[in-house]
Structure 1
Amino acid sequence: MQFKALCTDIDGTLLDKNREISARTLDAIAQLPRYFPVILASSRMPSAMRHLQGTMERLQNPMICYNGGYVIHFNGHEEEYEQLDTVKIPLNICHHIQEISDGTDIHVSVYHEDEWYAPQDDFWTQREITSTKVKPVIRAWQEVLPDWQSRQAGAHKVMCMGPAEEIDALFKALEKEKNEDLHLYRSKDTYIEIAPKAISKASALEQLLKKKYDIALSEVIAFGDNYNDIEMLKAVGHGVAVGNAREEVKAVADEITASNKEDGVAMMIEKHLL
């Protein structure tokens, strides 16, 4: 099969044990033609993905942020970018999440475009800074809400982090009350990543390919490890699960490669694209 694009998840898939792109993976990507799109698809915000594009020397390629809620293309320029799609969680639902988290030890961060607001500089904030190399604005929800109301903004992502039992209770409450409105991703038992129900990496990738490249999903090779990658791996021409992927992801994949710590993505680029 002749692939015309590559799309990959970041955390647990593309990055190695040091949360970097390994030398072998960078070398494999460098051998791909400049016209061949290498698309990052993640729950991350743009700033947490842009430096990885720079490391790959792929600043001209688009990115799928927030699991498909925000799709942008910088056209190779640092400041100017084209917004290809944006889908947000309405403010009333954001406020509801905040209300039911009050009185718990759950940290609720909210994201809009390339803005990250954290309620305080705590263990969870520092953990995300370490993972993403981005720093938030420390601002309570009571201050964020009127600002977003005046701008008619909403959340591209809400991230809830805290004790496993409290996160589990929040997950069950939101699943019961807001299942028709929200995607709820449990990347760990202490995390819930919340996105609009209407989006996915698969739907975002399909739109992006039509708008920018006239490439079909069947002409894409994609990589993933977690629940939010399942639809994407099923939709593309060749879906690859890394060796450390959840069993549900491996079950839908066309092929299973080595783990992210063993250059699984690089192996598949070398096998199928070079």
Structure 2
Amino acid sequence: MIKIAFFDVDGTLLKMGHKELSERTLHALTSLRQNGVKLCVATGRGYLSAPRFPGIDFDALLTFNGSYVTVGDEIIFKCPLDRVDKLQLLQNLKDMHRAVAISNEHFIITNGTDPDLEQYFRFGNEMLKIDKQFDERVHEDIYQMMCACREEEYERILYGTHHTQITAWWDRAADIIPLECGKGNAVRAVLQHFGFTKEEAIAFGDGFNDIEMLEAVGTGVAMGNAKDEIKAHATCTCKSVEEDGVYDFCLEHGLITI
């Protein structure tokens, strides 16, 4: 019996670039809640950017790809970037002439811009904010960095770091997070908090940063718009976000009714 559900946002609950849920996806979430299923968002977005949908109160927010997890007003897990690694990453990106965004529960700022990074933010309906105090604010706890890059640049970005990893769902930008984090670890923290087993949990996702989450639950559902490499890590697949895959799967498997 499913007691808790985890959802990626962009490309899973929301069509890319959209702000509002489709009518059928909204119905799916509402019906799951009415059936006693706890609802959780697991997103690469920061805490300030986590989606708020009218009529839907999520039981847990897993933000920054799992680096910062809240249940209501309670922080149940947080893991900022290692301070030494953080400075090394900034130097590496500076040497690569890459702008970088930093984020925590209070701000999302950047030291510059470029077209790919701007597009990355637009996917979440956000705008880059260049902050003159970037060099000072970077010394605060930072849960995630974001930069434009390609996969072949990952090694160079991480050069000299020891407690940091890259996760990505788009091939022209990446999220830089602590090695001890990721959506999988965050899901396990939430399950422990509520006292649920892996088998009582379901998750929906479409990106490479969702793989750990799909493997951390009993039923990991890859969206139809996910790449084959992601589907290979899932228990099963559903229709694409464009076809309201979450709704269709929940209806087909008796988790909700029309």
Identify the TM-score tier after normalising by the shorter chain: 0.7 to 0.9
Letter of the 1:43 counterpart: G
Structure 2 unaligned residues grouped into runs of 5+ = none
For the pair 1:198 / 2:180, whether they are aligned, the reply is yes
Distance 1:95 1:214 in 2: 38
For the pair 1:146 / 2:144, whether they are aligned, the reply is no
Q: TM-score, normalised by structure 2?
A: 0.88
Aligned counterparts, 1:176-195, within 5 A: 176-178=159-161, 180-195=162-177
Contact preservation (8 Å) 1:39, 1:63: yes
Residue number in structure 1 paired with 2:219: 238
Residue number in structure 2 paired with 1:9: 8
Alpha-carbon shift at residue 24 of structure 1 (Å): 1.1
Deviation larger for 31-40 or 252-261:
31-40
Distance 2:215 2:86 in 1: 30
3-state SS of paired residue (2:136)? helix
Residue number in structure 2 paired with 1:25: 25
Q: TM-score, normalised by structure 1?
A: 0.83
Contact preservation (8 Å) 1:115, 1:136: no
| 1:146-197: CA deviation from partner (whole Å, max 9, x where unpaired) | 3454xxx3220010115x4xx733x12244533x411212333321211000
Distance 2:155 2:108 in 1: 25
Distance 2:111 2:171 in 1: 21
| 1:83-120: CA deviation from partner (whole Å, max 9, x where unpaired) | 11110112322221121222544220001124101123
| 1:66-99: CA deviation from partner (whole Å, max 9, x where unpaired) | 111000123xxxxxx2111110112322221121
Residue number in structure 2 paired with 1:98: 90
Distance 1:229 1:146 in 2: 32
Aligned length, in residue pairs: 253
Contact preservation (8 Å) 1:118, 1:125: no
Distance 1:208 1:28 in 2: 21
Contact preservation (8 Å) 2:17, 2:124: no
Alpha-carbon shift at residue 241 of structure 1 (Å): 0.6
- 1:219 pairs with one of 200, 215, 220: 200
Aligned counterparts, 1:56-95, within 5 A: 57-74=55-72, 81-95=73-87
Structure 1 residues 192 and 36, CA, compared in 2 at 3 Å: closer, same or farther? same
3-state SS of paired residue (1:38)? strand
Contact preservation (8 Å) 1:168, 1:189: no
Deviation larger for 184-193 or 228-237:
184-193
Give aligned-pair identity as a percent: 26
Contact preservation (8 Å) 2:92, 2:159: no
Structure 1 unaligned residues grouped into runs of 5+ = 75-80
Distance 2:144 2:164 in 1: 10
Alpha-carbon shift at residue 266 of structure 1 (Å): 1.2
- Point out the structure with the larger helix share: 1
